[in-house]
Amino acid sequence: MRTKYKDKTFLQGVGYCLEGISHTFKNERNFRIEILLGILAVILSFLLKISILEWVIIVFMITLVLVLELVNTAFESMVDLYTQEYNKIAKATKDVIAGAVLVTCLFSLVIAFLIFVPKIMERMG
């Protein structure tokens, strides 16, 4: 079954994806902060000459945080579309997906600490 929103071409589909990322970038401060922190992690990774495996882990964690923030934005938009009034279930839905982003961000910090701190200590000592 086709809907009026179904992609007509692959490039149109990519365009819609980019619109979603752009919307999130423009409207979600946390997404912009997470991108900035990701860029800083990449710069630090270059400066500290981390291994290929460490690169894979860093890039994976950056991607995971950004993807979850996009999912969070989509969930919040869907909940807002469903109800404009206070609703206990709507609040719980928003809180849970935001919690998933927070847990992932905290885990990313632990991973960054485990990768970067020993390398920084090595250079200092």
For 69-89, what is each residue's pLDDT tens digit?
999 999 999 999 989 888 999
| pLDDT at residue number 4 | 65
- Domains of the chain, start order: 10-124 (1.10.287.3610)
- Cβ atoms 82, 90 nearer than 8 A: yes
Q: What's the pTM value of the predicted model, to 2 decimals?
A: 0.89
